[in-house]
Amino acid sequence: MKVELTGMDGGMVDISPEVFQSLKTVFRGPVLTPDDAPYEELRKVWNAMIDRRPGLIVRCTGTADVVQAVRFAREHRVLVSVRSGGHNIAGLAVCEGGLMIDMSLLRGVWVDPVQRVARAQAGCTLGDVDRETQLHGLAAVLGFVSATGIAGLTVGGGFGYLTRRHGWTCDTVLAMEVVTSDGKVLRASAGENSDLYWALRGGGGNFGIVTSFEYRLFPVGPEILGGAIAWRGEDAKQVFDAYRELTDGAPRELTSVAVLRIAPPAPWLPKEVHGKPIAAIFVCHSGDTEEGEVLLSRLRKVGQPVADIVTRRPYTQMQSLLDATQPKGRRYYWKSHYLAGVSPEAIEIAIAHAGRIRSPHSAIIFFQIQGALNELPADHSPAGNRDAAYVINITASWEKPDDDDINVRWAQDCFEATRSYSTGGTYINFLTEEEGADRIEAAYGRSILQRLAALKRKYDPDDFFRHTKRVSVTLPATPAPCPTTA
Ligand SMILES: Cc1cc2nc3c(=O)[nH]c(=O)nc-3n(C[C@H](O)[C@H](O)[C@H](O)COP(=O)(O)OP(=O)(O)OC[C@H]3O[C@@H](n4cnc5c(N)ncnc54)[C@H](O)[C@@H]3O)c2cc1C
């Protein structure tokens, strides 16, 4: 059969029946056209705002398939996108008309409990890795929602309940296997291709397709003290004052996430608050449980909580507590900044915007990340932002396309109103589809972006991996240094 694909330059590329057949011959995994049954489900990503149709989807079963996909796309100058977990809000995993290289069949995890290292294939979700590492009472530094892909999260930075103790996820990566734009298979680590290793720890999908990651593991659980406490929306100010006190000087074993939203009909929340505004704090204390209980006892005395499910529970359960709030297939739009602290003024603004929320699924979320990441050198990895203490994520989520405008506007308004409290930085993995060069620069800062752009020229001079948040943006010329006067 003849196939038409979008080319790297945006024009159309005709793939003859013979060439298509030879791709199918050299490829071990399924090669899917829009006529094949699984195509429709696979082209859809987590965010239903993204509605693109790749011309072909190739499902890789190993590194050799990734190499074949890259060679094919390079030879025919076809646009590619790389899908691992498919959770990127901007839908970077799926390109219109091009070749989607799907990694999601690659879900192997191997744990070395003695060396405390896990090797995980790029199609793993966070849950896949936690499940295997927790068998040994160990954990990698991953994110908060178990269905998220490890690959996009790690190459963009990554933060979660263990970040305060150990840094960005990418700061804990020891090595990666990577297929570069010329189809070579390289190992990237501190000792091998160290510049590529640096670039891939935050520089996103610009440099190659990672087929597996080696993570440093840390002793965690298997039980931790964690869960959530919720209050009525009327108590939000008091709750956030307590959140500020709790997080100020809290030991790194404690990570807490404060949320303003409408109460969902979740079994842990009493029926009388369903559909009404609430403030909730999710906590995970991964150290000594008794110390955790003492720390949280003050929080439990704030106002009159309507629900309290903080208890000893498996770490893997904690890692999926937020899953139900973020299902695949709803419409999502996020705006986000890093904050150096949570000031009473910023909280007041957030509470006011929470009062104007347009959908029962939307939320304003504060994550504390302060700790180990602040102690590493500014350019330790491109994830950078070593001055960030919190992330605010304004997450609009709704069901009907007709409601797009009001929900997007709500998130944008709240973002603009809180902008002056930002460090100026933002998280590359939270950037939406329309956020371009200025926001990419905000995510990296000028000097890291320039270093990434130079490495892009070395590892991907043709911008083969262009369907991502591109670091090869044209930067204004660096001003000449001022002449020194004697
Ligand atoms: C519900 C939800 C919860 C989240 N929670 C967190 C969180 O707690 N912490 C956090 O840090 N982030 C979080 N994120 C953001 C998350 O890090 C990004 O969405 C990330 O892109 C997800 O990775 P993925 O593999 O699913 O991405 P995909 O959508 O599959 O891919 C996104 C992009 O990543 C790059 N990429 C993907 N696979 C590879 C690969 N194998 N090699 C090289 N580049 C690749 C490509 O540029 C690709 O286009 C969350 C996102 C969602 C939707």
| Atom 27 of ligand 1: nearest residue by CA position | 152
Does 345 lie in the same domain as 265?
yes
pLDDT at 484: 37
Angstrom CA distances, 296 to 228, 281, 288, 318, stand at 11, 11, 12, 16
Within 10 A of 324 (CB to CB), how many other CB atoms are there?
11
Domain boundary among 386, 401, 433: 433
pLDDT classification of 477: cutoffs 50, 70, 90: very low
Mean pLDDT of all residues in 156-164 = 98
Whether 13 and 77 have beta carbons less than 8 Å apart is answered as: yes
pLDDT classification of 249: cutoffs 50, 70, 90: confident
**Ligand 1: nearest atom to the Cα of 150:** 25
| Atom 37 of ligand 1: nearest residue by CA position | 152
337 inside domain = yes
CATH of residue 407: 3.40.462.20
**Ligand 1: nearest atom to the Cα of 209:** 42
Mean pLDDT of all residues in 26-54 = 97
Q: Is the pLDDT of residue 391 over 80?
A: yes
Domain boundary among 58, 85, 102: 102
Q: Which one of 82, 146, 210 would you pick to mutate in the ligand 1 pocket, going by the greatest count of ligand atoms within 8 A of its CB? A: 82
Ligand 1 centroid, distance to 388 Cα (angstroms): 20
pLDDT at 473: 58
Ligand 1 centroid, distance to 468 Cα (angstroms): 11
Ligand 1 centroid, distance to 94 Cα (angstroms): 12
321 inside domain = yes
- Each residue's pLDDT tens digit, 88-142: 999 999 999 999 999 999 999 999 999 999 999 999 999 999 999 999 999 999 9
Ligand 1 centroid, distance to 81 Cα (angstroms): 13
Ligand 1 centroid, distance to 470 Cα (angstroms): 15
Q: Which one of 49, 330, 429, 431 would you pick to mutate in the ligand 1 pocket, going by the greatest count of ligand atoms within 8 A of its CB? A: 429
Q: Which helix (H) or strand (E) holds 277?
A: strand 277-285
**Length of the chain as a residue count:** 486
Mean pLDDT of all residues in 390-406 = 98
Ligand 1 centroid, distance to 154 Cα (angstroms): 7
Q: Is the pLDDT of residue 482 over 80?
A: no
Ligand 1 centroid, distance to 307 Cα (angstroms): 32
| Atom 43 of ligand 1: nearest residue by CA position | 209
Does 267 lie in the same domain as 307?
yes
CATH of residue 60: 3.30.43.10
150 inside domain = yes
pLDDT at 154: 98
pLDDT at 1: 82
Ligand 1 centroid, distance to 352 Cα (angstroms): 30
Does 191 lie in the same domain as 166?
yes
**Ligand 1: nearest atom to the Cα of 81:** 49
**Ligand 1: nearest atom to the Cα of 83:** 30
Q: What is the distance between the alpha carbons of residues 208 and 220, in angstroms, rounded to a whole number?
A: 32
**Ligand 1: nearest atom to the Cα of 206:** 47
| Domain enclosing residue 311, as ranges | 223-433
Q: Please, what is the average pLDDT of the chain?
A: 95
Angstrom CA distances, 418 to 334, 351, 355, stand at 14, 11, 15
Residue 247's identity, in one-letter code, is T
Angstrom CA distances, 8 to 12, 13, 171, 455, stand at 9, 9, 32, 20
Residue 39: which residues within 8 A CB-CB, separation 6 or more? 32, 33, 57
486 inside domain = no
pLDDT at 405: 97
Q: Is the pLDDT of residue 486 over 50?
A: no
Q: What is the distance between the alpha carbons of residues 211 and 456, in angstroms, rounded to a whole number?
A: 19
Q: Which one of 60, 89, 144, 153 would you pick to mutate in the ligand 1 pocket, going by the greatest count of ligand atoms within 8 A of its CB? A: 153
- pTM of the full predicted structure? 0.96
Does 155 lie in the same domain as 16?
no
pLDDT at 474: 52
Does 395 lie in the same domain as 260?
yes
Does 380 lie in the same domain as 256?
yes
Does 135 lie in the same domain as 282?
no
Ligand 1 centroid, distance to 246 Cα (angstroms): 30
Ligand 1 centroid, distance to 225 Cα (angstroms): 27
Q: Can you list the alpha helix ranges (DSSP code H) found in 303-385?
A: 315-318, 344-354, 372-375
Mean pLDDT of all residues in 474-486 = 40
Ligand 1 centroid, distance to 150 Cα (angstroms): 7
Residue 51: which residues within 8 A CB-CB, separation 6 or more? none
pLDDT at 199: 98
Does 207 lie in the same domain as 58?
no
Domain boundary among 193, 219, 245: 219
Does 145 lie in the same domain as 128?
yes
Q: Which one of 60, 87, 145, 385 would you pick to mutate in the ligand 1 pocket, going by the greatest count of ligand atoms within 8 A of its CB? A: 87
- Each residue's pLDDT tens digit, 299-325: 999 999 999 999 999 999 999 999 999
Taking every pair of Cα atoms in the chain, the longest distance, rounded to a whole number of angstroms, is 75
454 inside domain = no
- Each residue's pLDDT tens digit, 333-370: 999 999 999 999 999 999 999 999 999 999 999 999 99
How many structural domains is the chain composed of? 3
Ligand 1 centroid, distance to 404 Cα (angstroms): 23
**Ligand 1: nearest atom to the Cα of 88:** 19
- Each residue's pLDDT tens digit, 360-389: 999 999 999 999 999 999 999 999 999 999
Q: What percent of the chain has pLDDT over 70?
A: 97
Q: Is the pLDDT of residue 479 over 50?
A: no
pLDDT at 127: 98
8 inside domain = yes
Closest to 415 in 3D by CA, of 442, 393, 385: 393
Pocket of ligand 1 (CB under 6 A): 45-46, 81-89, 92-93, 103, 122, 143-145, 148-149, 151-153, 155-160, 204-205, 209-210, 326, 429, 468
Does 414 lie in the same domain as 275?
yes
**Ligand 1: nearest atom to the Cα of 207:** 43
**Ligand 1: nearest atom to the Cα of 367:** 8
